[in-house]
Structure 1
Amino acid sequence: MSVRMQGAGEIRVPSAAEGSGPSGGRRLGIRSKLFVASIVLIGVSLAASEIYLTRALEAQLLESIRDELLVRARLVAERASGIASASDDVRAFDRLADHLGATARGRVTLVRRDGTVVGDSGVAAEELARLDNHAARPEIARALAAREGSGTRLSSTVRERLMYVAVPITDQGNIVGAARIAVPLDRIDLLIGELRMTLAAAALVALVVAAVLSWFAAQLVSRNVRQLTAAARGMAVGNLSLRTRIPGHDEVAALGHALDQLAGNLSRTLEELRAERDLLDGILASMAEGVLVVGPDGRIVLMNTALKAMLLVSGDPAGKNVLHVIRNANLSETLGRAREGAPAEMELELGGLMPRRLLMRARALEDAPGSVLAVLVDLTELRRLESVRRDFVANASHELRSPLTSIRAAAETLESAHDDPDGAKRFIDLIVRNAERLQNLVDDMLELSRIESREVQLELEALELDAVAERVVAHHLPRAEMKRIALGCASGMPAVRADRRALEHVLGNLIDNALKYCAEGATVRVGAARENGRVRISVADDGPGIAPPHLERIFERFYRVDPGRSRELGGTGLGLAIVKHLVEAMGGTVAVESRVGAGSTFYFTLLAGA
């Protein structure tokens, strides 16, 4: 059946006969239990009533018959008293018994003082002598003792169930015998049987009526209970919006109200827990640091998104042994120290596809004995930057030392060249060239620093690439002509979206780099083409080319393919690093393709201008 609850839709309620107990058998619902209990109580009540009524009626009928028989027995005793005083003839007594038995409509028995039967309306005179002495009969004994006696038993003479009433027979105040009258109780048994049949029929009708009424009463009583059960089952599976809405003020209604209040409290508590959980999940997910919780058994309890990304872990690692996920020999020792209550800190160096260096700080969780909370910070980039800084300082020091050494040596030599004007001029030229080299190096270092610190504000706009390239080419054309290098650019190149100054700087550095290393008669050409919604700009030359081992590092600071020749040509080793940073700042990428003896092509991509 279904019970409709306000605000909770319709939910199915199993009937009383549905469901099974723990052993899988059928079980009675409360409705059936109430019905069965009512039927049993009604049946017991009807049976008790039937037993009581039949016994009470039988007792009342027997009492009425005894009273009536007592009256008859007194009359019989009075008549027998006259004959007893006049004659001792047994036959006279028997005739009197027969006559009185017919008159009294019962079996009349006359007994002498000694218990001898001298007359019996139910026995022939010839058979009287064979009868047992009746002095021991209870009713006769009471009558001979001057009291009235009665009893009900099966007669040994006529083999019937009889009621006996005996009274004393007196003669001039003396007890001379007893008169007894007996009637069969078959009529009483028949009446009692009929009464029992009537009561049984009435009880059956009453039982049917009571069963119907009990069924409806059980329905009414169990409906609210079944509604409570349905609501409780719904709440048990998590639907805490259900409410019983039981009307009334009885115990069932009070239970329903308590259940509604419990559901409301649980719902509010769960909402608070969900909010706290979501807040914690949000905090853990937004943290750049990795968070790891390890249980007492060394298995992972929690790992946040950042740590999964650091370790390249897919899926949920909860339940796995931490040493299987983070493979480091010192990890177990560090976690052990943390479990002992001492703050533990160490750097983990992890290999694999993406080598990492992680700083881990671990502490024991106070509310979870044996568990450890660890926070891991990715130091990979920091260590890389430290290495870059060290390399930069070393390279910059080396680059600065060479021209400074040359300037110092030239200056010291110049001091002693008073009589050699030509030598003095050569040393002055050397000082000027190295000073210019220092100036260029400092300028490039400052430019690279501004770009990396984002102090250079780029303004991206749609630019005609033809005009920008022609202007840069024109600026470098005299130098190209001096080296007899053919320098030019393609026409009809697509527009790009870039910062004008940065684009000129990138093209200028790439052309300058090509002119430095190309020999006389070489060709340097600027070109561009659309590619996947972007513009690919290239500076190609047919110079000496670059060996493959150098291609991956060509854009690093101070990296030179031929350090000696580069310094001789006045290069600072920062030009291509500046190109890379400027292109990336404009949203592009830069790369190089080269073969030794076949020239090089430096290219970069920018957004299309239209």
Structure 2
Amino acid sequence: MTKRIFLSTITVVVSVLLLSLALITGVLYEHFQKIQMDQLEVTEEFVEQGITLDGMDYLKNLNENDCRITWIAADGTVLYDNRFDASQMENHKNREEVKQAMEGSAGTSFRQSTTVSERTMYYAKRMQDHTVLRLSVSQSSVLFLLGGMLSPICFILLAACILSGVLSYRVSKKIVHPLSELDLKHPEQVETYDELSPFLQRIAAQNREIEHRVRELKKQQQEFSMITENMSEGLFVVDRNYQILSYNKSAVQIFGIENEPIGQNLLAVNRSQAFREAVDSAFQGRHTQKNLTLNGRVYQIIANSVCSPDSEQELVGAVLLVLDITEKEEQERYRREFTANVSHELKTPLTSISGIAEIIRNGIVRPEDIPHFAGKIYDESQRLITLIGDIIKLSQLDEDQVPLERESVDLLEISRDVVQQLSSVAKKNGVSLVAGGTHGSVYGVRQVLSEMVYNLCENAVKYNQKGGRVSVDVKQSDAAITLTVKDTGIGIPKAEQSRVFERFYRVDKSHSKAVGGTGLGLSIVKHGAALHHAAIELNSEVGEGTEIKLIFPVKR
């Protein structure tokens, strides 16, 4: 404050000095200019009388060095000039001061030199014979005059500035001293300027209010800390600049934070797209829920914006709550898988039973063929019963009530059974379907393995072309048993290959609608492979076909 008062005072003093110098210089310059003009008028009167009495002889004998004298005829021709040869000078009829004199009685003008810091003052007067007598004198410019006085002016300014600086410093120190001695903790006990009394009283009242609010805030903070630290959910409170203001122990554990996060940018905690979208949405004033997979667990991020109490449109920060929903997601995933698998497993036998029943109802079957079709219905019904039994077993397995029954299953045998089941469908679509290779036994669940091979072959047939081919090949090596289903169908684009094993995902929806299916086949294959610890390899080219391999490890 002392520095500010000092600078303000010295600035005012210097400004006043400079302004005064400028005003005085301007007034004096105008005063001397008027004196010079008056002298020109007086001189002109004397010269005019001399010319009236003696004519050119007077001018030739005149010894005038201070001013320039020019005698101009009525047509502008220069008759005489005491500085230059009149015969060589141009016509002066259009000179400003000459024109004024010819039109009136007298004229004046000023012209600035472009080469030196001077300007010329002209005074012209029309004589009785209509000639014009003009006198002129050179006048130094203000800057030139100031330049000549530069040394004394600088000395005076320097002395004035030093004196002003000393006085300003002492005055500012004296003004600020009572203020610097203020005790803002106990403003009622301070003796200072009377003008500051209302200010000090207000500070005292504010101090009391602040102390009260600090106690309340400490109490609320302790309560908040007790609640948040005992939460299993992670919690972050951030300001509008994404800086972390508060957090709890669960948040540190979930995100594996090692250093003190207070003051850090929240986006540095986790750089995933879902986390960033949740935070950005909160700062856009939207309630947002996003799922985030972290360290093998699934978390739900709930982000809400925090608005100013004065204005609901002004965002001051955000609150993020992180919930562990791994078990919930697992249960939901199991429910979807169970529903999908049940639907797909029941579809095939029910379709077969429905088709045979329709044929019999329409009277197409000859009497002697009825036992054969009745046997088919019986077989498919038994398959349904077996399937339902397996579903019950899977349901019991989910509840850990029965162990999963595994057995040694020959993949080549299963492949041939599947080829036999799909032979009519393949023939209808104009596709040849064959199975071959070597016998290879996998220790697993027969029904699941059969369903996996069936789905692969069914897709290969459905998404094939007329005259196409589907081959199922089983090979066994020391390390693994590989089942390969290869077709010459429409193929799968590269961009879609990573998603074909998702539930209900279809590459060509229009074609899928024509051939039927729910889009669960390859998803079942994927989960069946996971059940048997098998790997899946997919190779496909659009228009050339698809090859899918199931690689089962051999237990030793």
Q: TM-score, normalised on structure 2?
A: 0.36
Higher relative contact order (CA 8 A, sep 6+): 1
Q: Decide which structure has the larger Cα Rg and report it.
A: 1
